[in-house]
């Protein structure tokens, strides 16, 4: 596929409220979380990852998922996704009227063993009851695959391992599957190789790209993925999801940077970039964190200069 065959439309899934905030040490007030989700849906996101129904012992920051879901203003047309690690989580998600539940697995055997003490195959199989229940309840089911471009423990991850997990998640009935570069080590050529292999076993229009900017590669990887035909991307407003200066930083790609790229390429998203920039400023200030979006910072300066000129 050449650059002239870029998609006309792309779906950007905003993951800041969940994947972004979950690593914040300081508990974020419920009202702030609700305002964040509401600002994002108002900006036009068709899909917001809003909460995680995980044990509060594991992730205290996500303990108020039910309250977040109860407090937000549901925007018609927006899909609110929640992470559901088990049946208990699923029951919570169902009660909270989530539109989509997210299950997950790693493409790295070492990562799976280290983090959940079982093989990839076992970890995915354990989601079968959640997947069945989601289907029975008429919810969308999304499957996230971590470490698709590299693993902090084993280093390289074979392409075949990614394809294998895609097939396992497909067998569980996933409507959408995420190819995630959890530690941000992948580069553009590798991105294309992995995506094109995954697309041989699962429809590319339901595959998504989830990139981290730890090595500064996320935007190049997104451009590469677009060239391979991907039309769904994950991003996090203000780059929420790990301080880029800290060891073990996760560094989700910033939504503003992604939207700026897509806008420049003439690709429609239905999202108001300036509203997202304001939202990035809001949440960065609310949690006392530097805004990690380069486009966000540059556009905020421009917007303020314009406002100052208009009021002068």
Contacts with its own copies by CB under 8 A lie at: 2-3, 6, 184, 186-190, 192, 213-217, 219-220, 222-224, 227, 244-245, 247, 249, 251, 254, 257, 260-261, 263-266, 290, 293-295, 297-299, 301
Residues pairing with 143 in the sheet? 103, 177
Nearer to its own copies, 105 or 184 (CB): 184
Q: How near is the Cβ of 184 to its own copies at its closest, in Å?
A: 8
Q: Show the tokens assigned to 222.
A: 């997104």
- Report the phi/psi class of residue 277: left, alpha or beta, with left for phi > 0 and alpha for psi in -120 to 50: alpha
* Residue nearer to its own copies on the CB measure, 28 or 220: 220
As measured in angstroms, the least distance from the Cβ of 107 to its own copies is 18
Catalytic residue, chosen from 118, 147, 174, 243, is 243
CB of 12 to its own copies, least distance (A): 15
C-alpha 268 chain-centroid distance = 19
- The distance of closest approach from Cβ of residue 165 to its own copies in the complex, given in angstroms and rounded to an integer, is 22
Q: Are 168 and 105 in contact (CB under 8 A)?
A: yes
118 belongs to the catalytic site: no
Rounded distance between C-alpha atoms, residue 219 and residue 256, angstroms? 11
Beta carbon nearer to its own copies, 148 or 295: 295
Strand 100-106 and strand 207-211: the pairing is unpaired
Q: Are strands 207-211 and 232-235 parallel, antiparallel or unpaired?
A: parallel
Query: Which is closer to its own copies, CB of 42 or CB of 265?
Result: 265
Query: For its own copies, which is the closer residue by CB, 89 or 242?
Result: 242
**Segment holding 90, helix H or strand E:** helix 87-95
The count of other CB atoms within 10 Å of the CB of residue 286 is 15
Buried b (16+ CB within 10 A) or exposed e, 168-203: bbbebebebbbbbbbbbbbebebbbbbbbebbeebe
Q: Shortest Cβ distance from residue 46 to its own copies (Å)?
A: 22
Q: Rounded to 5 degrees, what are φ and ψ at 101?
A: -110, 150
Closer CB to its own copies, residue 44 or residue 186?
Answer: 186
To its own copies, the closest distance from the beta carbon of 259 in angstroms equals 11
- E strands, the chain, where? 11-14, 47-52, 79-83, 100-106, 140-146, 176-181, 207-211, 232-235
Least Å from the CB of residue 141 to its own copies: 31
Helix, strand and coil content of the chain, in percent to the nearest 5, comes to 50, 15, 35
81 three-class SS: strand
**Nearest to its own copies of 134, 157 (CB atom):** 157
Active site residues: 243
């Amino acid at each position: 596929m050449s650059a002239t065959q870029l998609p006309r439309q792309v779906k950007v899934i905003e993951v800041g409220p969940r994947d972004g905030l979950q690593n914040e040490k300081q508990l974020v007030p419920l009202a702030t979380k609700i305002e964040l989700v509401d600002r994002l849906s108002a900006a036009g996101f068709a899909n917001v990852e809003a909460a995680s129904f995980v044990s509060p012992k594991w992730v205290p920051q996500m303990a108020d998922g039910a309250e977040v879901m109860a407090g937000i203003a549901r925007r018609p047309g927006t899909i609110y996704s929640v992470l559901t690690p088990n049946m208990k989580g699923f029951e919570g998600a169902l009660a909270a009227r989530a539109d989509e539940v997210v299950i997950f697995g790693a493409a790295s055997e070492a990562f799976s063993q280290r983090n959940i003490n079982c093989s990839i195959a076992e970890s995915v199989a354990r989601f079968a009851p959640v997947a069945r229940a989601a289907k029975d309840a008429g919810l969308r089911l999304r499957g996230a695959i971590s470490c698709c471009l590299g693993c902090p423990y084993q280093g390289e991850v074979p392409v075949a391992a990614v394809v294998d997990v895609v097939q396992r998640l497909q067998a569980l009935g996933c409507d959408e599957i995420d190819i995630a570069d959890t530690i941000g080590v992948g580069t553009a050529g590798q991105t294309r190789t992995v995506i094109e292999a995954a697309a041989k076993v699962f429809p590319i229009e339901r595959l998504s790209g989830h990139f981290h900017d730890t090595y500064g590669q996320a935007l190049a990887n997104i451009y590469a993925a677009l060239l391979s035909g991907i039309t769904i991307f994950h991003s996090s407003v203000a780059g929420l999801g790990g301080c880029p200066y800290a060891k073990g930083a996760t560094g989700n790609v910033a939504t503003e940077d992604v939207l700026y790229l897509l806008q420049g390429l003439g690709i429609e998203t239905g999202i108001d970039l300036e509203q997202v920039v304001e939202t990035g400023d809001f949440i960065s200030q609310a949690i006392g964190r530097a805004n990690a979006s380069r486009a966000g910072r540059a556009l905020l300066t421009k917007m303020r200069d314009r406002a100052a000129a208009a009021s002068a």
